[in-house]
């Protein structure tokens, strides 16, 4: 591959300055003439029949409507189904007929001001007929009809591996429900345009999914619904499913007035989605030399109160466990249960953080049992480039897990630090280093429909517009596409305009911005469309100026040939005039593959044996990204992913009491790792090219949230000679462990 001119470089995203100065206009900053405000009334009970009285709420001046289950269409949907051909069971209504979790959407209050709406929400009288709730997996396992999904994925004969093994290392662990913590709470704004179409602005991940749901719920044709992806203040998967859009659209359509449906933090914490909690038992059968013969994994997943992603997250979790280490046999049995808690949804990593949280701790404990270095153990078993998926799934592609481990070991000075870190120990502080690996995918190829469409046009002013259904969640997707297009077209990144998804403007995309598919699938589509447009440009120059394509060179938006030169704009203008054509390219793209992206993380921790607080003092993350699209953005993903992953390891948790109530409903109680607790994060990228990726690139955003957490837990286990495998490893758990050790 020739030297890249634009891809991989540290371009600054065009909205960076506005965002830094608070000038960006998010949905909550908008105001339409005659706009009403709407807020959902959320259940305070986990499982109950409800009787709702609206009178008091309606008596508040300025209140226009209070809707309940009886007012909304008697049509169920599954907010997880991102298109009409994804058919997980439909069991939710715009507003619920009964309370199935604390946070369930029971009523919608619409009024002229936020103040009126807030007051009216508190005056909606709900009489609950409480029933026994199912909270947590152990309770779900004992409840009839709580099983939502079950599947076994396997290859080889685990029993044989078990018989031949020198050691079998068993680890039971758990991961918690996690709130996404996007600074922008869920919100949507709906209006009716001059032609009577329903227009919805929403910071979402898939406009086509929202359109599908609103169409099916309100009985409107797709073509009458315009969904526009709004400027987004973060999602992390939390806005992946349709959450508030149907209620907002319903209120607007019913009242024929613009409606802004907003949530506050507490609503967002209890009444949207969370990362699925998981309990997992891992048995790994190994030879004395540390070769993995086989693994048996059983995972139970807390799916929450509605079906949503019960099947999808279980399958995602199971499949990823087959794509990182080589072995002879593996059996993975996954089950998802209904509980009376917040429904499960996408959350950065979609099953990978949970899966690797336990298996990577298990591998470290196996290394301990075999008196081996945990890196060496992993190296003995790491998948190799172009390995097949043992279950018959898509090929692993240019899987560079081994490079991630080796490069990390060297950069972290692993061997020496592992040998010497305990020399820093004092009475109070125990030090440790640990590492872990992670794997993630690149789209839906092999599981679900996977394709996208691109339209590209070059204008007479030399600018280029790109229409593709992408949704920038804040990670710089737009800029990534600009850089890819610039590379293909040999022109200024900032003269390329990439529209974000809008069902009236951008062509159909199969799955939206999820599943780590955007760089790998959409990016490659943009590359191909860019190359096609460039080809047209060259051909136009040939027709217009008689330039032979072999003699034409292109740079910075100029074509040069035999001493002459033309700007792209001139070519576009003259081509339109002379040939009665516009410079444009259009294509549908389906990726031929779905390779793995891999990572390793290396962490050093200082554990306070008195207070149980863990300080992560150093963190290195190595990512197999094929090729960085933009180094600054990639580093941003690594740092942000680490922050989420460390939060999962150390402090974040949605805690339910026995009755299903959540205590930490805002950031004063729900603790994410904040700046004072964040270690400096060092990023290294392995760039060895992924054959079908755009200029060799592949995914990183979700993967970044996988390995740091287990690396920290492994470091804690090393420091304390513990076996922690229940996330998060809180100070209380550490102290309980130490006190028990002391009494021994």
Partner 1 sequence: MNFAMPKTREELARALRENNGALLCAGGTDLMIRLREKKQFHYSLIDLTHMAEMAGIKETETSVIIGAAVTMDELERSSLIRRYLPALSKAASMVGSTQIRNRATIGGNVANASQSSDLTPVILAYDTRAAVCDSTGGIRMLAVDEFVKGLGRTELGETDVILWFEVEKTAAFSGFAKVGSRKAVAISKINVCVKADIEDGILRNVSVFLGAVGPKARRSPFIELALEGMELSRRDERVLKEAVYAQIEDNIPDRSSKHYKKPAAYGIICDALEEIKPQSEGGERGE
Binding segment (CB under 8 A) for partner 1, from list 35-43, 50-58, 61-69, 611-619? 611-619
Binding segment (CB under 8 A) for partner 1, from list 28-36, 244-252, 546-554, 668-676? 668-676
- Residue pair 41/102 in contact by the 8 Å Cβ criterion: no
- Which residue of 379, 457, 505, 738 would you call a contact of partner 1, by CB under 8 A? 738
Q: How far is the CB of 671 from partner 1 (least distance, A)?
A: 5
- Cross-sheet strand order for the sheet of 553-555: 553-555, 558-561, 564-567
- The token duo for 28 is 């909550």
- Which residue of 22, 221, 668, 743 would you call a contact of partner 1, by CB under 8 A? 668
Q: Is 282 in the site for partner 1 (CB under 8 A)?
A: no
3-state secondary structure 396-409: CCCCCHHHHHHHHH
Which of 124/633 has CB closer to partner 1? 124
Q: How far is the CB of 105 from partner 1 (least distance, A)?
A: 19
Q: Is 671 in the site for partner 1 (CB under 8 A)?
A: yes
Q: How far is CA 662 from CA 44, 50, 257, in A?
A: 10, 20, 35
Q: Is 609 in the site for partner 1 (CB under 8 A)?
A: yes
Cα of 414 vs its chain's centroid, Å:
30
- The token duo for 566 is 């033309």
User: Could you give the CA distance from residue 258 to residue 119 in angstroms, rounded to a whole number?
Assistant: 20
Scanning residues 411 to 430, which ones bind partner 1 (CB under 8 A)? Answer: 427-428
Phi–psi pair at 51, nearest 5 degrees: -125, 125
Q: How many CB atoms lie within 10 A of CB 549?
A: 11
- Residue pair 686/703 in contact by the 8 Å Cβ criterion: no
Q: How far is the CB of 122 from partner 1 (least distance, A)?
A: 4
Binding segment (CB under 8 A) for partner 1, from list 29-37, 248-256, 520-528, 731-739? 731-739
- Which residue of 113, 122, 138, 170 would you call a contact of partner 1, by CB under 8 A? 122
- Which residue of 612, 618, 632, 723 would you call a contact of partner 1, by CB under 8 A? 612
Q: Is 732 in the site for partner 1 (CB under 8 A)?
A: yes
Nearest 10 degrees: Cα torsion 333, 340, 245, 19:
-80
- Residue pair 728/648 in contact by the 8 Å Cβ criterion: yes
Q: How far is the CB of 46 from partner 1 (least distance, A)?
A: 20
- The token duo for 36 is 């009403």
Tally the C-alpha atoms within 13 A of residue 319's C-alpha that lie toward its C-beta: 25
Q: Is 651 in the site for partner 1 (CB under 8 A)?
A: yes
Binding segment (CB under 8 A) for partner 1, from list 139-147, 466-474, 703-711, 733-741? 733-741
- Residue pair 48/130 in contact by the 8 Å Cβ criterion: yes
Residue span 77-116 as binding mask against partner 1, x where in contact by CB under 8 A, dash where not = --------------------------------------x-
Q: How far is the CB of 658 from partner 1 (least distance, A)?
A: 15
Q: Is 658 in the site for partner 1 (CB under 8 A)?
A: no
Q: What is the largest CA-CA distance in the chain?
A: 90
> Which residues fall within 8 angstroms of residue 457, CB to CB, at 6 or more apart?
464, 465, 582, 583, 584
Q: How far is the CB of 365 from partner 1 (least distance, A)?
A: 25
Q: Is 58 in the site for partner 1 (CB under 8 A)?
A: no
User: Which runs of consecutive H residues, i.e. helices, occur in 450-561?
Assistant: 477-489, 524-545
Scanning residues 215 to 254, which ones bind partner 1 (CB under 8 A)? Answer: none
Which of 13/609 has CB closer to partner 1? 609
User: Could you give the CA distance from residue 164 to residue 229 in angstroms, rounded to a whole number?
Assistant: 55
Which of 113/553 has CB closer to partner 1? 113
Q: Is 731 in the site for partner 1 (CB under 8 A)?
A: yes
Q: Is 613 in the site for partner 1 (CB under 8 A)?
A: yes
User: Could you give the CA distance from residue 723 to residue 51 in angstroms, rounded to a whole number?
Assistant: 49
Q: Is 608 in the site for partner 1 (CB under 8 A)?
A: yes
Which of 99/673 has CB closer to partner 1? 673
User: Could you give the CA distance from residue 289 to residue 284 in angstroms, rounded to a whole number?
Assistant: 14
Q: Is 28 in the site for partner 1 (CB under 8 A)?
A: no
- The token duo for 688 is 């060895």
Residues near partner 1 (CB under 8 A), total: 29
- Residue pair 438/478 in contact by the 8 Å Cβ criterion: no
- Residue pair 51/126 in contact by the 8 Å Cβ criterion: yes
Which of 267/403 has CB closer to partner 1? 267
- The token duo for 537 is 């440009």
Residue span 675-714 as binding mask against partner 1, x where in contact by CB under 8 A, dash where not = -xx-------------------------------------
- Residue pair 156/235 in contact by the 8 Å Cβ criterion: no
Q: Is 288 in the site for partner 1 (CB under 8 A)?
A: no
- Report DSSP letters for 119-141, one per residue: HHHHH-EEEEEE-----SHHHHH
User: Could you give the CA distance from residue 449 to residue 81 in angstroms, rounded to a whole number?
Assistant: 12
Between 708-720 and 352-369, two packed helices, what is the crossing angle to 10 degrees?
Answer: 30
Q: How far is the CB of 726 from partner 1 (least distance, A)?
A: 16
Which of 178/299 has CB closer to partner 1? 178
Q: How far is the CB of 34 from partner 1 (least distance, A)?
A: 24
- Which residue of 342, 673, 686, 715 would you call a contact of partner 1, by CB under 8 A? 673
SS3 288: coil
Closest CA to 728 of 174, 201, 307, 203: 174
Which of 156/731 has CB closer to partner 1? 731
Strand partners, 438: 599
Residues that are catalytic: 702
Q: How many CB atoms lie within 10 A of CB 736?
A: 12
Q: Is 739 in the site for partner 1 (CB under 8 A)?
A: yes
Which of 91/677 has CB closer to partner 1? 677
Phi–psi pair at 310, nearest 5 degrees: -50, -45
Closest CA to 694 of 619, 622, 626: 626
Q: How far is CA 76 from CA 68, 83, 95, 121, 478, in A?
A: 15, 15, 10, 24, 34
Q: Is 610 in the site for partner 1 (CB under 8 A)?
A: yes
Q: How far is the CB of 275 from partner 1 (least distance, A)?
A: 19
- Which residue of 118, 373, 531, 639 would you call a contact of partner 1, by CB under 8 A? 118
Binding segment (CB under 8 A) for partner 1, from list 154-162, 278-286, 325-333, 726-734? 726-734
Q: How far is the CB of 612 from partner 1 (least distance, A)?
A: 7
Binding segment (CB under 8 A) for partner 1, from list 203-211, 411-419, 442-450, 666-674? 666-674
Rg (CA), the chain: 27
Q: Is 144 in the site for partner 1 (CB under 8 A)?
A: no
Q: Is 580 in the site for partner 1 (CB under 8 A)?
A: no
Q: Is 674 in the site for partner 1 (CB under 8 A)?
A: yes
Which of 653/690 has CB closer to partner 1? 653
- Which residue of 88, 391, 632, 730 would you call a contact of partner 1, by CB under 8 A? 730
- Residue pair 438/638 in contact by the 8 Å Cβ criterion: no
Which of 57/421 has CB closer to partner 1? 57
Binding segment (CB under 8 A) for partner 1, from list 191-199, 204-212, 227-235, 674-682? 674-682
Task: Give the residues lining the site for partner 1 (CB under 8 A).
Answer: 115, 118-119, 121-122, 427-428, 608-613, 615, 651, 668-669, 671, 673-674, 676-677, 730-732, 735-736, 738-739
């Amino acid at each position: 591959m020739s030297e890249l001119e634009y891809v991989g470089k540290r371009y600054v995203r065009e909205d960076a300055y506005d965002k830094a100065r608070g000038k960006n206009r998010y949905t909550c900053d908008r105001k339409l003439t005659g706009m009403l405000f709407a807020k959902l009334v959320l259940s305070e009970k986990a499982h109950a029949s409800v009787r709702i009285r609206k009178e008091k709420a309606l008596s508040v001046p300025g209140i226009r409507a209070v809707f309940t289950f009886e007012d909304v269409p008697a049509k169920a949907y599954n907010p997880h189904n991102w298109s009409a051909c994804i058919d997980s069971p439909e069991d939710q209504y715009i507003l619920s007929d009964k309370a199935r979790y604390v946070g369930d959407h029971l009523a919608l209050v619409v009024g002229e001001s936020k103040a009126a709406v807030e007051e009216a929400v508190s005056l909606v009288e709900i009489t609950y007929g409480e029933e026994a709730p199912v909270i947590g997996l152990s309770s779900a396992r004992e409840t009839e009809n709580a099983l939502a999904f079950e599947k076994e994925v396997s290859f080889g004969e685990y029993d044989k591996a078990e018989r031949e093994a020198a050691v079998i290392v068993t680890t039971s662990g758990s991961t918690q429900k996690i709130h996404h913590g996007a600074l922008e709470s869920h919100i949507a704004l709906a209006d009716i345009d001059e032609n009577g179409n329903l227009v919805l602005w929403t910071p979402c991940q898939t406009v086509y999914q929202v359109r599908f749901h609103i169409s099916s719920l309100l009985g409107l044709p797709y073509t009458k619904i315009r969904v526009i992806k709004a400027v987004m203040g973060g999602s992390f998967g939390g806005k992946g499913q349709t959450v508030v859009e149907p209620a907002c659209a319903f209120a607007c359509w019913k009242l024929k007035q613009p409606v802004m449906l907003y949530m506050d933090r507490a609503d967002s914490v209890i009444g949207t989605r969370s990362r699925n909690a998981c309990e997992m038992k891992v048995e790994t059968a190994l030879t004395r030399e540390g070769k993995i013969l086989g693994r048996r994994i059983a995972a139970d997943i807390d799916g929450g109160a509605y079906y949503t992603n019960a099947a999808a997250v279980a399958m995602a979790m199971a499949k990823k466990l087959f794509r990182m280490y080589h072995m002879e046999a593996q059996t993975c049995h996954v089950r998802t249960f209904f509980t009376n808690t917040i429904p499960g949804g996408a959350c950065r990593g979609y099953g990978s953080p949970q899966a690797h949280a336990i298996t990577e701790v298990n591998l470290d404990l196996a290394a301990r049992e075999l008196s081996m270095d945990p890196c060496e153990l992993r190296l003995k078993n790491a998948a190799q480039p172009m390995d097949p998926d043992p279950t018959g799934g898509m090929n692993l592609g240019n899987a560079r897990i081994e490079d991630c481990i080796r490069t990390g070991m060297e950069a972290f000075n692993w061997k020496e630090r592992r040998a010497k870190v305990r020399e820093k120990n004092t009475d109070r502080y125990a030090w440790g280093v640990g590492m872990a690996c992670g794997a993630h995918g690149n789209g839906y190829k092999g599981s679900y429909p996977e394709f996208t469409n691109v339209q590209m046009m070059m204008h007479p002013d030399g600018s280029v517009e790109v229409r593709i259904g992408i949704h920038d969640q804040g990670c710089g997707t737009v800029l990534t596409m600009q850089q890819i297009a610039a590379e293909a077209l040999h022109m200024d990144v900032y003269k390329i305009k990439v529209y974000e998804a809008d069902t009236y403007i951008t062509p159909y995309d199969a799955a939206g911005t999820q599943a780590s598919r955007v760089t790998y699938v959409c990016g490659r589509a943009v590359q191909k469309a860019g190359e096609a447009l460039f080809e047209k440009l060259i051909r136009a120059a040939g027709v217009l100026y008689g330039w032979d394509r072999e003699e034409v060179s292109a740079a910075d938006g100029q074509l040069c040939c035999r001493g002459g030169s033309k700007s792209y704009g001139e070519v576009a203008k003259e081509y339109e005039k002379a040939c009665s054509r516009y410079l444009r390219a259009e294509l549908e793209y389906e990726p031929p593959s779905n390779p793995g992206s891999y990572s390793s993380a290396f962490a050093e921790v200082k554990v306070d044996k008195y207070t149980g607080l863990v300080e992560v003092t150093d963190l290195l993350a190595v990512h197999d990204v094929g090729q960085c699209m933009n180094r600054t953005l990639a580093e941003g993903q690594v740092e942000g992913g680490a922050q989420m992953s460390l939060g999962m390891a150390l402090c974040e948790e949605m805690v339910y009491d026995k009755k299903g109530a959540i205590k930490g409903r805002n950031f004063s109680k729900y603790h994410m790792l904040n700046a004072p607790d964040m270690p400096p994060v060092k990023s290294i990228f392995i760039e060895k090219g992924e054959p079908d990726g755009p200029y060799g690139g592949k995914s990183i955003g979700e993967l970044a949230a996988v390995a740091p957490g287990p690396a920290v837990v492994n470091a804690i286990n090393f420091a304390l000679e513990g076996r922690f495998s229940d996330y998060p490893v809180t100070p209380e758990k550490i102290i309980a462990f130490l006190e028990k050790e002391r009494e021994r």
